[in-house]
Structure 1
Amino acid sequence: MKTQTQRFLFLIAFFSFFLSYAQVKITGKVTFRNKGISEINITLKDTYDGATTDTNGNFSFETSEKGNHTLIFTHSKYNDVEKPIVIENQEISVNVELKEQINEIDAVVISAGSIEASDKKRATALLTPIDVYTTAGADGQITSALTYLPGVQKVGESEGLFIRGGTGTESKIFMDGSLINNYFSSSVPGIAGRDRFNTSLFKGNVFSSGGYSALYGQALSGALMLESVDLPDQSSYDFGISSIFANAGFQKLSDDKTHSYGATLGYSNLNLMQKVFDFNTDFIDAPQGLNADANFRIKTKSGGFFKYYGKYDTNSMGVKTESLEADNEYSIIKLKGKNTYHNLSFKQKFGKYLLNAGTSYSFNRTDLNFSTESNDIESDKTRLLTDGNYINFKAVLERKINRISAVRGGFEVNNTDEKLTFEEINKHYKDLISAAFVETDLGFSNNLSAKIGVRAENSSYLGKSNIAPRLALAYRFAKDWTTSFAYGLFYQNPESKYINGPANLDFQKSQHYIFQVQRATDGRSLRFEAFYKKYDQLIKVSNLGFNDNQTQPIQRADNNNGFGYAKGLELFWRDKKTFDNIDYWISYSYLDSKRDFMNYPVSLQPNFASAHTLSAVAKRFIPEWKLGVNLSYSYAKGRPYYDFATKDVNGQIINYTRNEGRLKDYSALNLSFNYLPNLGKKDAKAFTIFVLSISNVLGTKNVYGYNFSQDGSRSSGVVPPINTFVFVGAFISFGVDKTQDAINNNL
């Protein structure tokens, strides 16, 4: 027995010695840019043998394998490397230089001049649809919510996004890539038109305050790109009731979740609120409107996706103001507006290529009737009737080069057909703007990327073409810190309403230079941006006179001799992390801008440009009370105002400034409450939210500008229709519970 045990132990020792003798040691070093890197996994393919590098990049392991084999080096941040080796009896040394793996998650994103809010990049999203609805003072409008971001001016007397010294018409809005020619409702002078489109229609947006992509054009200052929702999660029915409107709608999702359709109907009327509150504006006909829309979405078997959205709306109002002319007591303006819009888009992947195509059509009618009143007798009636038909088509083909690099190109056509009738003027304006563009995204590494593009356009009315290069660079210089630079040329046709006679006109032109530094961490975002814009070939207009009741000036574009500049600094800070259930942001803009354009006699600070703008937004959700409390505050340094007139000097008509001054500083504190009674209910199939919103809580009497009489001796202030407005509403959805989504989106 003892002898057998000794033999068994001897055999174990012998085989152990043999195996240890047969083991071969494999060593080496793994580097990236000549520096050793740790935590790289090294394995011998099809075996369990391997090791992990230390802090200096060194590794070592032993194997009993023989013959031809492959070493594999892997890490999530670097490209995999395979090295063939031959294992015999001697030690093997293998050194490897890795290359950084470029991917969409780690790669730096170009963000100079743009702010993105979409499902694709929620980590960097700044304004989602929920953000819009819960920003006090925004009234649920996307464009109003954007005024709480840097770069957008507080202009209350006219619709549009006034971006970095640009007019409201110098920014354009797109839906699923197609231009929306009439995003705002028709209105009367001195009262801004509202957003025509419901915020809930869109799942995200990219707002560019300059330096935007070559895929878009005809905007001197900036662009807002809206992306509509896809298939709903489930079928639902929605109802809304408030002190100024009522609406109802539905969304029906197919059982196989491949298609959906829906529609909404709404009616609004300000008559009740006019009886309750003291309005600054005398509405002889309270603003009212009717709107309806329909949509369908289809996912094809081959992976394509169709989206259609169509809407129809009408609005009307009548305004009575004290006349500035001695011959009349009152001036009266009555409006009837009508608009229809259709948008069809298609997306399909063909192998390595992605096709995005879309078309839109809109018809817009604005019927303005002017008159005067003396001793209760209405006279001097005139009518301004404008009909516009607009067609847009766009196609973009994109091919991925690697995970973050791509090249795309396409073309776009935008056809305008407008008819205008005003006293002795009967105008028929037609223009076809055709464009071609190409753009590439270049990812050199996870820390360096570029976007290079060029856009070419031709206008049939102007009979001229342009070429606009665009360039943007982004570099991550430290953890969470990136810097971006953008440059571009941008062109835009003169506004058609000023084309009232023959003139040798050209494209208006601007150059953008933007530098940005950004720090983005989980729940916090800090942005600093500096910009410079140079304007050339801006249109100059002359006054042809006034209509019979002296209320509507007639202006004609004469030439492109205008010019200007805008430069400034902007700061944005958003924090969702520091305080529990509190989301807040602060934005500040400094703007230095001057222009000689329109009927300006010399280069002046534009009357829509404020030197200093400050906004603060805070949102607090209280779970135990099921309540959201939202505050916002806006401040803007007083803008200049001017009264321009013409005079005859040695037989020559020239413009001069007859009256000028500076408005009082603008300020407004807004408050809103959102109550969610469904919170806490399990398996709820309904969602309800009650809203109470108070705009300009302190009742500050803001002034947007002044109107002057023909001789300049009398003036009246342009003020908001009401100083403090209270909105009360309830919104109910059946079939889907959106409560948790609202909470998760910082309600």
Structure 2
Amino acid sequence: MKTKLLLLITFLSFTFHFAQIRISGKVTYKNKGVREVSVTLKDTYDGATTDGSGNFSFETSEKGNYTIVFTNPKYTSVEKSILIENQDLVINTEIKEQISEIDAVVISAGSIEASDKRRATAALTPMDIYTTAGSQGQTTTGYKFLPGVQNAGDNEGLFVRGGTGAETKFYIDGNLVNNYFSSSVPGLAGRERFNTSIFKGSVFSSGGYSALYGQALSSVLLLESVDMPDESSYAFNIFPFSLGGDYQHVNEKKTFSYGIDANISDLGLVTKVLNFETDFIKAPRSVSVNGNFRIKTKSGGFLKYYGSFDANSLTVSQPSLEQNYDEQQPSVNGKNTFHSITYKKKMGRYLMNLGSSFSINKNDLEIGIVNEGNKIGNVNMNTEGLYWNSRAVFERKIAAVSNIKAGFELLSENDTSSFSIFGSPQQKSSISNFTTALFAENNLAFGRNFSASLGIRAENSSFLNQWNVAPRVSAAYRLSDKWVTSLAYGIFYQTPESKYLTQSFKQNFQKATHYIFQIQRSEDNRTLRMEAFYKDYKNLVKTSVSGFQNAVLPDDGNGFAKGVEVLWRDKKSIKNVDYWISYSYLDSRREFLNYPTELYPSFAAKHNISLVAKKFVTSWKTGFNFSYTYTSGRPFYNIIVQNGENILKTEGKVKDFSSLNFSLNYLPNLGKKDAKAFTVLVAGVNNILGNKNIYGYRFSTNGEMSAPVLPAAQTFVYIGALISFGIDKTQEAIDNNL
């Protein structure tokens, strides 16, 4: 009996010692249960995962002081000390959200970004630009296939949401670029001066842009140049109208690189082969040379330089609309040089970005007046501009919830111009303006589902002798995993163009106030983006046209622009097919320049529709690209001057614009199989159906005669090759197409 009793006591003691204790509870965030939270007893194998209501339960045989840990990648880990004895435990825990740059909702109202850091489905990369039929390899032309941008082919620039081309500013690596486009004659748009391939990404803001940038009433296009090359390489391109070459060298340690690029273009042969609407006396010609270097310093800094020089010329013949002569021959000779240097370095908790750019632009426009085959005189308009800007931006991140940027920008502009008619003494003028800008912006994340940006910018113009203060506010809220909504509000100021600045009377900053609402649905390679906007314009420039010159009026103009935009992009539904559809509706009125009253802008259309589709056949290494653009008829106005007043004599609309474009790119295997070479053969046709499109009309001084403003060529055909050695980008090109 004693033996049995001893065994029973021993068994009961053993059972009691290893009795299972239940630990249970609920994990909540803002009084709501959180699923998939890992609950573990530290330094043991005991634990559980919360269910859909945030509840958990597990058993343990441990005794004594322990730590229970609650973890989930989206939330901050929580540790609690507990004492495990003989009773079950109930432990309820409130956790806090852990915000990361990946999880935090991104504010995208009014902006589209394509960069190495953020590959938005709605954005355009350089490869997107090159493979978009009808883009002609130009960044700005590629963006015309997205909502908000008007198809104003008779003028260079981005005409965004009822704004003129001058209301969009361009930046390379944060530095302002004056005269982004080459010189041209009225009615023909100048081409971009910069090769799309030098950029690795872009941010296009069609409104409500950051306080770090200013002097743009409508939008900004921020371009980021490539960094250190992976390897040394050289390349060349051959087209019937151009020839170019490029060389890039990088040292073995990849701490230093330099490069040079040169191109020459002459459309003489093309104008003889194709049927051009424009009568070229001297076909467009240009030459450009670009250079760059990049240095990684021992202290961790990165220095980047880019410089360019280009010259272009052309002469056309146009029938005169005036009674005293029958022909005019506009001719232009332009020269431009641009230099940009930037330096960035991390200094403790701060990131410092310094940058400066300098440019000189000369433009000589001569209009030859011809009657019965004899030149009877010239009208000469010559301009020269010297531009310089410097900026410094200091950035600090506080965990992942706050990003603070602050800095200053200095802009110097010196413009001189001269005008003479039929050999009369030159009328010279000179304008100098120095702009000082201070700015600050704080991006805040209030959890995974809500973020906001608060910014302010202040500017002073030495010519206007005024300060302005422009607040900028935007916010985004995540409705679900796929749906995000954004709001943006901001005030934007811009000094009038130098040709409109006058000492005769006090002028003001032009002003635009933006209101933007966006809702976007994003999933795997699919994006639906809908946006509504309203812009209110104040203090716009008003002019009176007399002959070949503009007289600036002391009155201020105003206006508005409102509309809705839709973009659907899909890379998933059809194998190896990338397509997008965009639609823009615009309602706008303006009283500016020589408009006698509020009128719908002549450079804008109510309806714009674009369809872009790309199919890459991997086995053929060939991409087939299509695009279609439809634009409802733009208005035109016959405005004359009577008794010193602008009078609207007649008005109308041109027919609707439409263009179907096609291009293909083929990646052949040239040379040895293992050779580091990359070749692309390209061909394309713009406006393949040959539609007779019209941009508008020009009128005689008295308004009695008119002539249509036409594209340089209704249908344009091209073929060429791009070949590079040193780096084989064939697979990269295929992947980007897929």
**TM-score higher than 0.5 here?**
yes
Partner of 2:690: 699
Partner Cα distance (2:113, 2:594) in 1: 37
What residue in structure 2 maps to residue 3 of structure 1? none
* Separation in 2, partners of 1:291, 1:277: 25
Give yes or no for contact 1:669–1:696 (8 Å, CA) kept in 2: yes
Partner of 1:237: 234
Shift of 1:382: 2.8
> CA-atom RMSD, angstroms?
2.1
Counterpart of 2:629, as a letter, is: S
For residue 204 of structure 2, give the secondary structure of its aligned residue in structure 1. strand
Q: Which residue of 2 aligns with 1:722?
A: 713
Shift of 1:186: 0.7
Match of 2:146, SS? coil
How far has the Cα of 1:606 moved from its partner? 0.8
Query: How far apart are residue 501 of structure 1 and its match?
Result: 5.0
Of stretches 719-728 and 31-40 in structure 1, the one that deviates more from structure 2 is: 31-40
SS of residue paired to 1:537: strand
Using structure 1 for the length normalisation, give the TM-score.
Answer: 0.95
The reply to whether residue 250 of structure 1 matches residue 247 of structure 2 is yes
Cα deviation digits, residues 502-538 of structure 1 (max 9, x gap): 2210000011011111001111000111111110111
Q: Does 1:60 align with 2:62?
A: no
Structure 2 residue corresponding to 1:566, chosen from 561, 569, 582? 561
1:537 corresponds in structure 2 to 539
1:50-69 deviation per Cα after TM superposition (whole angstroms, max 9, x unaligned) = 33223332333344544433
User: 1:387 maps to what in 2?
Assistant: 384
For residues 554 and 515 of structure 1, the distance between their equivalents in structure 2, rounded to whole angstroms, comes to 41
The residue number in structure 2 matching 1:708 is: 699
Task: Give the Cα–Cα distance (whole angstroms) in 1 for the partners of residues 401 and 731 of structure 2.
Answer: 33
**The residue matched to 1:638 in structure 2 has which SS?**
coil
Aligned partners of 2:219, 2:446: CA distance in 1, in Å? 28
Q: Over residues 667-692 of structure 1, what are the superposed CA-to-partner deviations in whole Å (9 max), with x where a residue is unaligned?
A: 11100011111399964411100000
| Post-superposition offset of 1:724 | 0.5
Instruction: Give matches, 1:589-604, under 5 Å.
Output: 589-604=584-599
Any residues of structure 2 matched to 1:82-93 within 5 Å, and which? 82-93=79-90
**Offset at 1:11?**
12
Once residues 434 and 706 of structure 1 are traced to their aligned partners in structure 2, the CA distance between those partners, rounded to angstroms, is 40
Matched to 2:652, the amino acid is: G
> Take 1:276 and 1:236, find their aligned partners in 2: how far apart are those partners?
35
Separation of aligned partners in 1, 2:123 and 2:400 = 25
- The one-letter code matched in structure 2 to 1:564 is G
- Correspondent of 1:106 among 100, 103, 107: 103
1:745 matched residue in structure 2: 736
**One-letter amino acid matched to 2:177:** I
* Equivalent position of 1:506 in the other structure: 508
Q: How does 1:527-676 map to 2 (within 5 A)?
A: 527-543=529-545, 545-546=546-547, 553-648=548-643, 653-676=644-667
Q: Secondary structure at the match of 2:542?
A: strand
| Residues 537-574 of structure 1: per-residue CA shift (max 9 Å, x gap) | 1111123x32xxxxxx2113223520100111111000
1: CA distance, partners of 2:688 / 2:283: 23
Partners of 1:640 and 1:123 in 2: CA distance: 35
1:19 to partner: Cα distance: 4.3
Contact in 2 for aligned 1:473/1:485 (Cα 8 Å): yes
CA distance in 2, matches of 1:522, 1:409: 35
1:153 is aligned to 2:158: no
Q: 1:434 aligns with which of 419, 436, 447?
A: 436
Number of residue pairs the alignment of both structures matches: 731
Q: CA deviation at 1:28?
A: 2.2
Of residues 608-617 and 10-19 in structure 1, the stretch that sits farther from structure 2 once superposed is 10-19
Residue identity opposite 2:458 in structure 1: A
Q: How does 1:91-240 map to 2 (within 5 A)?
A: 91-124=88-121, 126-240=123-237
**1:10, distance to aligned residue in structure 2 (A):** 10
Quote the Cα distance in structure 2 between the aligned partners of 1:575 and 1:467.
Answer: 41
What's the CA shift string for 1:62-115, capped at 9, x where partnerless?
445444332211111111111122334443332111112111112111011111
Provide the secondary structure at the position in 2 that maps to 1:39. Answer: coil
Match of 2:26 in 1: 29
Secondary structure of the residue aligned to 1:559 is coil
Instruction: Return 510-519 or 499-508, whichever deviates more.
Output: 499-508
Where structure 2 has 5 or more consecutive residues not aligned to the other structure, the ranges are 421-425
Deviates more, 1:133-142 or 1:346-355: 346-355
Superposition pairs for residues 671-690 of structure 1, below 5 Å? 671-678=662-669, 683-690=674-681
* Alpha carbons 1:631, 1:672 under 8 Å: kept: yes
Specify which of 457, 463, 474 is matched with residue 455 of structure 1: 457
Structure 1 residue ranges without an equivalent (≥5): 1-5, 547-552
Which stretch of the first structure deviates more once superposed, 34-43 or 418-427? 34-43
Shift in alpha-carbon separation, 1:125–1:602, aligned structure 2, 3 A:
closer
Q: Tell whether 2:15 aligns with 1:17.
A: yes
With normalisation by structure 2, the TM-score equals: 0.96
Structure 1 residue identity aligned to 2:712: P
Task: Decide whether the 8 Å contact of 1:500 with 1:555 is kept in 2.
Answer: no
Query: Deviation at 1:125?
Result: 5.1
Question: Which one-letter code corresponds to 1:414 in the other structure?
Answer: L
* Residue 627 of structure 1, CA deviation: 1.0
Whole-angstrom CA distance in 1 between matches of 2:702 and 2:470: 44
Return the match for 1:274 from 260, 271, 276.
Answer: 271
SS of the aligned residue for 2:732 comes to: helix
Output one character per residue of 1:602-641: Cα deviation in whole Å (capped at 9) or x when no partner: 1111101101111110000111222111000111111111
For residue 732 of structure 1, what is the amino acid of its counterpart? I
Give the CA deviation at 1:348.
1.0
Name the CA shift for 1:73/1:673 in 2 (closer, same or farther; >3 Å): same
Q: Output the CA distance in 2 between the equivalents of 1:300 and 1:125.
A: 36
Contact 2:670 2:679 (C-alpha < 8 Å) held by counterparts: no
Give the stretch that moved more between structures: 555-564 or 203-212: 555-564
Verify the 8 A CA contact 2:500 2:541 in the aligned structure 1.
no
Change in CA separation of 1:11 and 1:390 when aligned onto 2, cut-off 3 Å: farther
Counterpart Cα distance in 2 of 1:461 and 1:408 = 28
Q: What secondary structure does 1:478 align onto?
A: coil
What is the alpha-carbon distance in structure 2 between the residues aligned to residue 700 and residue 601 of structure 1?
33
> Once the two structures are superposed, what CA deviation does each residue of 1:112-158 show, in whole Å capped at 9, x if it has no partner?
11111111111445200000001100100000011100000111111
CA deviations 1:25-44 (Å, max 9, x no partner) are 43322122223223211222
CA distance in 2, matches of 1:259, 1:125: 34
Structure 2 SS opposite 1:624: coil
Alpha-carbon distance in structure 1 between the residues aligned to 2:566 and 2:344: 37
CA contact (8 A) 1:505 1:560 kept: no
Partner Cα separation in structure 1 for residue 248 and residue 401 of structure 2 = 36
Partner of 2:423: none
Change (3 A) 1:301 1:69: farther
Aligned-partner SS, 1:143: helix
The one-letter code of the counterpart of 2:594 is: N
Distance 1:313 1:107, change over 3 A: same
Residues 501 and 556 of structure 1 are in contact (CA less than 8 Å); yes or no, is this contact kept in structure 2? Answer: no
CA distance in 2, matches of 1:428, 1:56: 73
Identity within the alignment, %: 54
Contact 2:407 2:440 in 1 (8 A): yes
Distance, in Å, in 1 between the alignment partners of 2:430 and 2:648 is 33
The alpha-carbon distance between structure 1 residues 735 and 404, as it changes in their structure 2 partners (threshold 3 A), is farther
DSSP-derived class of the 2:553 partner: strand
Contact (CA 8 Å) 1:533, 1:565: kept in 2 or not? yes
Query: CA shift at 1:317, angstroms?
Result: 0.6
Quick one: which amino acid aligns to residue 476 of structure 1? Answer: R
Aligned-partner Cα distance in 2 for 1:501–1:24: 88
Equivalent AA in structure 2 for residue 20 of structure 1: F
